Structures are given as structure tokens and as C-alpha cells.
Amino acid sequence: MTLSRLLRAVRQAAIVAAVVLTATAAPRSQSSDTPDPAVVARLQEEGLQRSRLMDTLSYLTDVHGSRLTNSPQFRAAGAWALGRLRDWQLSAVHAESFSFGRGWSNERFVARVASPVPWTIVGFPKAWTPGVGPMSAELVRVSLDTEEDLRAWTGKLRNRIVLLEPAKPVAAFFDPQATRLTAEQLAELEAQTPLAPGGPYPYNNAASEFARRRTDFLLREGAAAVFEAGTGRGDHGAVAVMGLTAGRDPKAGPTMPQLVLASEHYGRLVRMVERQVPVTVFLDVENRFHADTLDAQNLFAEIPGTDRKDELVMLGAHFDSWHAGTGATDNAAGVAVMMEAMRILRAVNLPLRRTVRLALWGGEEQGLLGSTAFVRQHLADRATMQLQPGHATLSVYFNHDNGAGAIRGVYLQGNEGVRPIFRQWMAPFEKWGAGTTTIRPTGSTDHAPFDAVGIPAFQFIQDRLEYFTQSHHSNMDLYERIQPDDVKRNAVLVATFAYMAANRDDRLPRKALPVARADR
């Protein structure tokens, strides 16, 4: 080793020793929101050089597979995650139950055209629909959009597989499937102005009621099953599949076996039938309902604070997924990032004034059920705005649920007071492209119930990559869709946000407390 290298090594050792001494000293008040470079360096070294993130993600996806809420796979993966958090020496590792309904799993799916030419159909059952077969049945293409259509097909559908839709056009890939946010797009987000308060989401009761009557008609007529084309990400091998969440109710009435096919395969079947070519399909689909418990789970772990240990900073992501893929980008990526952020904080052992709590939610895909149950029990009832004691002691909630792309900033949810704070916290990560704040909200994930009762709650702006073109809710939501460098950096940034929030003198600024809204 040269003399210059030796001197550099001595200086680096001195810096590390100083940071270690700081970590073991009593916590000091933090009057500034400027991150300490030595602390950021320590978090970054742990998160990038000794990461466990991709290992965690592989166990969640490759080993445990999809995690439909209250399914056996969800519970097995949850037990594994709690075990790993205990191994990392986190505290208060436990699960909390909330009312959900029965679970569901697919045990077998076989769909093959038997004649006129044998070939294998790519498809998946909708969750919470029954199985079918083994059986062979003829296909029929019908439109059942009006009461007149129902009368016209009475007596003609017994033991037949019904194609309800026309073939779907499939466009070529003229645009890239994976994208990152451009400088122009980030500037547009930064320049946005607050939205006006909105009303409740519209709901088409008439369409929903007719859909129920159509299902009842198919059941009465003895149809064998319904085939549908994949929608959204239903092309080029990606099949987007969700489910009939009403089937969670153990008292729910019967419904049809409903199978979602790759658009190209569905289109081939429709075109053959419309040319009056008889098509026979062999089906063997085994689905199971699990009603041994009707309560689902949220998972929790903590790093205790010191002088303000009764106050909380929360990190969260939804643990559940749909069932066609392994839920890698939606949302094992978010789970692994938040677990890794907790591991980083625990490993570096820097002092935290407030307790940092991890929450992994169930039931997000069925309507934010797990996080909503937690908020109602521990923070506030949105309908009445009756506050619980935890409302005053929760400083902030950060959520990760927009795929596996790099964090580029934060949605402020209309909270202008946090903008200068978050900009300072992101300053060390400008080299990674983070730094954008937009006053606009984003929704449809687990920060929303917190925000709805006045808790500062935020979702990160992320590069979209292939999230909305390939992986979201589809059979292509697999480990290979993850960008390791992106998610490792995300974990470091989240750990820094948690550290800064836990150690600042004051809670983060809050918006005005919302008024009671029973329709929310």
C-alpha cells in the first residue's frame, strides 16, 4: 500500500469511528432538516454494499408466489416475513387481524382446444370464482347486453362455454414498453397547482345490476363457463387478471366460472366461432375457497425510539397481490424496500428519537381494507372524525406502491408545508434523479386512508418502467421485472426519510383536519 493510500485509509477509519461514536451517544435535538452527510454515507453503505433486498424479494415471489389476501400463500409468506424481521432483531413483530372474508386459491388450470386443431390456451381464472371440469364443451359467441338478448338466448347455452365479447384489437409496440420520467415530465409535476376538493367516486348502479342479472341468467341456463379477453395489460403475453371480490363473502350466491385469456388466444377463438367452425375445448380448473378464518392480517415491526418513543414514524407497503403472477412489482418491491429500510436503520444503529414502525398491509387490492381498518381502529373514524389517541402521536406515514422504478420525488397530497423539508431530505439523492415535489395528490393505495383523516401521509413519485404496460396485475408481474439498482437506492432514500422524520424536533406539518365524510 502506498503512503497516500495509507493516509486515505486512516482518514476514512477516523470518519467511521466518529460516526460510530455519534451513533452510540445520547440522541440530540435536530433543529435542521439538512441531512448529515456522514449519516447518509453510513445508510448508503449499508443499503448498497450489504443489501438483503433482492434476497427478500426472491423469497416473497419465487418461493411463496402470489399473495392473494387470506389465501394459504399469503399466510405462509406473512409468517416468513415476520420471521425475517425477528431475525433482523426488530421489536414488536406481530400480526393484527381485520375482517375480510374467505380466502381463495387456484390449484390447477388446464385449457386446451381439442378440435378442430389441438392447441393450449393461455389463461387464468378470476379470483373467487368456482372451478370447472374436467369436461369438454363447445364454444359459442353471444352478446348479452340487453334484456332482449337474454330472451333470445334462453334454452341455447347449456354446457357451452360462452364468449361474451368481440375479439380485441392488439396494437404493435410502436412506443417503448419501459419508460423513465423525463426532465420535462418532472417539471410539469413540480409546476402543478392544488386540485379542488372532489366528491365521491361515481358508481354505475344500473350497469352493476344488469351484470348480476346476466350472471344469474347464465347460471339458470347451465352454461359451463365464461371466457373473457384480458384487458389493459392483456396483450403480447401479458394477461391482467383480478377477481370477483364479492366472492369473499361465505354467504355469497353462486357465480359462473370466469376465465381470462390472452387477447390473441381469445381473438383466435372468436374468429373461428364467427366463421361457424365448431370449436371444442377441454377444461380442468380446480379452485378452492378457504373459510377456516374470515380475518385477514396486517403485519408490523418496530425500531424503538428514545426520548420520544411514544411518537411514531410509519413506513408501509401492501403485502397482498393478485394471483396470475407472483406480485413482484405490485407489491413485493414495495414490501422488500420498506423491510430493507428497516433493516438498514437497525444495522447502522443510529439513534432514533421517535419509534419507527413498519406496516405491511393485507387487502389493499380489494379496496385498501387492511390500512383502512388500522386507521379506523388506531387513528380516527373517517365518517365521524372521532379521533383516537394515536392520531396525535403519529408524525408521518410513507408508502411504497408504484412498482419497482426509482424514486424521483414525493406527492405532497396538498400539504405545502412539507415541500421545503422534503427537498432538503432529497438533496443527497439528486445524483440519483430524486428531487421533485408536486402539490397534487395520488391515490388508490395505502397512504390514502391516513391522508383522509389528516395524518401527513405520502406516496413517492417513481419511474414507471413496465408497470402499466406489462406487469401491473398481470401474469408478467415476476421477479425479472425488478431493477435491482432502483429498489436498493429506494431503500436507502426511504431509510433517510425515516431517520430524518424520527429525529426532527417537531412533527411534520399537517393540513387542516378534514370534516366528517360518511361517503368516504
Percent above pLDDT 90 for the chain: 85
3-12, 191-200, 258-267: lowest mean pLDDT where? 3-12
20-29, 104-113, 175-184: lowest mean pLDDT where? 20-29
Categorize the per-residue pLDDT at 2 as very low, low, confident or very high, splitting at 50, 70 and 90.
very low
Confidence at residue 207, expressed as pLDDT on a 0 to 100 scale: 75
d(CA 27, CA 355): 13
Q: At residue 16, does pLDDT exceed 50?
A: no
3-state secondary structure of 345: helix
Categorize the per-residue pLDDT at 276 as very low, low, confident or very high, splitting at 50, 70 and 90.
very high
Q: At residue 422, does pLDDT exceed 90?
A: yes
pLDDT tens string 29-65: 455 899 999 999 999 999 999 999 999 999 999 999 9
What's the average model confidence in pLDDT over 481-506? 98
Instruction: Name the helix (H) or strand (E) containing 84.
Output: helix 72-87
Q: At residue 8, does pLDDT exceed 70?
A: no
Confidence at residue 209, expressed as pLDDT on a 0 to 100 scale: 87
Strand residue runs (E) in 376-517: 380-381, 386-387, 394-399, 407-411, 436-438, 457-462
pLDDT tens string 103-137: 999 999 999 999 999 999 999 999 999 999 999 99
Confidence at residue 234, expressed as pLDDT on a 0 to 100 scale: 58
Categorize the per-residue pLDDT at 5 as very low, low, confident or very high, splitting at 50, 70 and 90.
very low
pLDDT tens string 292-332: 999 999 999 999 999 999 999 999 999 999 999 999 999 99
d(CA 110, CA 392): 54
Distance, first Cα to last Cα, the chain: 66
Confidence at residue 9, expressed as pLDDT on a 0 to 100 scale: 46
Using alpha carbons, list the distances in angstroms from residue 122 to 61, 137, 269. Answer: 21, 17, 12
Confidence at residue 368, expressed as pLDDT on a 0 to 100 scale: 98
Confidence at residue 236, expressed as pLDDT on a 0 to 100 scale: 81
Confidence at residue 239, expressed as pLDDT on a 0 to 100 scale: 94
Mean pLDDT of the chain: 92
What's the average model confidence in pLDDT over 165-176? 90
What's the average model confidence in pLDDT over 256-260? 97
Q: At residue 394, does pLDDT exceed 50?
A: yes
What's the average model confidence in pLDDT over 326-343? 98
Pseudo-torsion of CA 123, 78, 251, 129, nearest 10°? Answer: 0
d(CA 240, CA 260): 8
- Single out the residue of 189, 186, 144 nearest to residue 164, CA to CA: 144
pLDDT tens string 347-374: 999 999 999 999 999 999 999 999 999 9
pTM here is: 0.92
Confidence at residue 30, expressed as pLDDT on a 0 to 100 scale: 53
Categorize the per-residue pLDDT at 520 as very low, low, confident or very high, splitting at 50, 70 and 90.
low
Categorize the per-residue pLDDT at 204 as very low, low, confident or very high, splitting at 50, 70 and 90.
low
Confidence at residue 198, expressed as pLDDT on a 0 to 100 scale: 53
d(CA 66, CA 60): 8
What's the average model confidence in pLDDT over 269-282? 98
Q: At residue 424, does pLDDT exceed 90?
A: yes
Domains assigned to the chain: 26-100+294-503 (3.40.630.10), 104-180+204-290 (3.50.30.30)
Q: At residue 250, does pLDDT exceed 90?
A: yes
Q: At residue 13, does pLDDT exceed 80?
A: no
Confidence at residue 367, expressed as pLDDT on a 0 to 100 scale: 96
Sign of the dihedral through C-alpha 114, 117, 118, 119: negative
What's the average model confidence in pLDDT over 201-218? 80
Distance from the Cα of residue 118 to its chain's centroid: 38
Confidence at residue 10, expressed as pLDDT on a 0 to 100 scale: 38
What's the average model confidence in pLDDT over 10-27? 42
Q: Which residue has the higher pLDDT, 197 or 475?
A: 475
Confidence at residue 7, expressed as pLDDT on a 0 to 100 scale: 41
Q: Which residue has the higher pLDDT, 237 or 477?
A: 477
Categorize the per-residue pLDDT at 518 as very low, low, confident or very high, splitting at 50, 70 and 90.
confident
